[in-house]
Each structure stands twice: as structure tokens, then as C-alpha cells.
A and B are shown apart, each in its own frame.
Chain A
């Protein structure tokens, strides 16, 4: 029981960290290029660095959300099947 709770907490931490990383990289990267911050300090090197960080965090965050979403859908389907089976057994008794 303890390990299940621990696993759930770890999953939540991973998902929220990837989302937070994506959000930070989004602000860090998008604000200068959108013109909210003066572009003058954004050299090509810094630009490439931020772009890489942004792309990596996008990949991580979207994968984390997608995997968790699919996992939940699968579990929900399994649960539905199980409930149907229980009903059948109960009915047959």
C-alpha cells in the first residue's frame, strides 16, 4: 500500500516538474522573441541554447502527460471490464 502511494507521489512529482520546466522554458524563450523583452541581448548562442531547452522540455512534458493519460484510460477500461464480469458472476449466482 505504502509503495503504491509512493509511486503515485513520484508520478505526480515527475509530471508537475516536467510541466514546470516546460512553462519556465516557454517564458524564457518566448518572451524575448515575442518582443516583450528587448531582443538586443539575445545572441545566437543564447537563442540556440534556449531553443534546445524549450524543445527538450516540450518533449518531456507532452510525453509525461500522454503516458499518464493513456495509463488512466487503460485502467478505466480494465475497471469497466472487471465491473461487467462481477455483475455477470453475481447475476449467475
Chain B
């Protein structure tokens, strides 16, 4: 009798596993149709920005630093794709008094975002975007970076690297 109960319990449990998995798979399928695309992995280091002296403030724009021109390029096939920025800028607060990255629109679609608009501001205090930037019309979009850095005093030459992950999602959060 005990064996029979255990057997039935195991069979029910195996069905439960399949049911839970089917539910999760269904949810996952919805996520797949929403699709999260990693648009770019950007690294800002000496190779990109060159050196900076203690206390010096430098403004890097797409005009004086070619690598910042059209640094993000994305072609969307549907309206309302949200661009998210995630960086490790907060780890640089000991090396920099200021490290501000402005994401500026270059090639745009529709009329909500205009060329030259700052669509996101990333700083030491807020290294990620809280809500995504709405690319409201399908088409090709490009963005430039404008970076302002002020270096702190350091005891020796300090190489620094900032990593930025840009992803496109169907939701703003």
C-alpha cells in the first residue's frame, strides 16, 4: 500500500514538473517575442580617450574623438524599442571627480528625438539608466557619446576602464 502511494505520488510529481516547465516555457516564449538584444558592449579606456593628468578636465566629443562618433548604431524593425544603458562607472569614483557620459542622438527617425538631443546621462552617481530610452519609430538610429572627465589626484599612473552595455528591450524598465 505504501509502495503504491509512493508510486502514484512520484507519477503526479513528474507531471507537476512537466506542467511547471510548460508554464515557464510559455512565459519564456513571450519573452523571446519581446527579445532582449545586446546592441553594444563599449569599453572606454586609454585606447579610446588617451591620457588625462591629475586635476585636468577634458571634454571628449564626436568632433575631437572619432571613436565616439556613431558609437551606437541600431536598426529597429518595430516601434517603441527601449534602449537601456548599464555601466560600471560607479567604480571610478576614486579616480575621477567627474565622469559624465552624455548619449546624443545623431541619426534619428520620427520626430520625438531630434538630432543633438541628449537621450541619456550617465554619471558616477547614476551609472545606469533607470528607464529605457524610447526609440518610437522603426528604422536606423545612431548615437554619439560626449564625455567629460576630471581626474582626481593619484599616487601613480592609474589605467582606468569603463564598460558600457547597451541593450534594446521591448519594455522601458
Interface residues in chain A, defined as those with a beta carbon under 8 Å from any beta carbon in chain B? 19, 22, 26, 29-30, 33-34, 39-44, 47, 51, 54-55, 58, 61-66, 68-73, 75-76, 79
Flag if B38 contacts A43 (CB, 8 Å): yes
Flag if A69 contacts B17 (CB, 8 Å): no
A residues in contact with B20, CB < 8 Å: 26
Flag if A51 contacts B17 (CB, 8 Å): no
CA distance A68 to B10 in the complex (A): 7
Q: Report the nearest A residue to B84, measured CB to CB.
A: A40
Flag if B31 contacts A33 (CB, 8 Å): yes
Asked if B169 is at the interface of the complex by the 8 Å CB criterion, the answer is yes
Main SS class of interface, B:
helix
- Known contacts being A40-B36, A40-B86, A42-B36, is A29 close to B24, with CB within 8 Å? yes
CA distance A72 to B10 in the complex (A): 9
CA distance A61 to B13 in the complex (A): 10
CA distance A85 to B18 in the complex (A): 38
Flag if B37 contacts A44 (CB, 8 Å): yes
Given contacts A41-B86, A55-B25, 15 further A-B contacts (CB under 8 A): A22-B17, A29-B28, A33-B24, A39-B171, A40-B169, A41-B165, A44-B36, A51-B28, A66-B14, A69-B13, A72-B10, A73-B11, A75-B7, A76-B1, A79-B3
- Known contacts being A58-B17, A62-B18, A69-B9, is A30 close to B4, with CB within 8 Å? no
Asked if B8 is at the interface of the complex by the 8 Å CB criterion, the answer is yes
Instruction: Report A84 CB to chain B, min CB distance, Å.
Output: 14
Instruction: Report A35 CB to chain B, min CB distance, Å.
Output: 9
Q: List 17 A-B contacts (CB under 8 A).
A: A22-B21, A26-B24, A39-B31, A40-B36, A42-B36, A43-B38, A43-B167, A51-B25, A54-B21, A62-B17, A65-B10, A65-B13, A68-B10, A69-B8, A69-B12, A72-B3, A76-B1
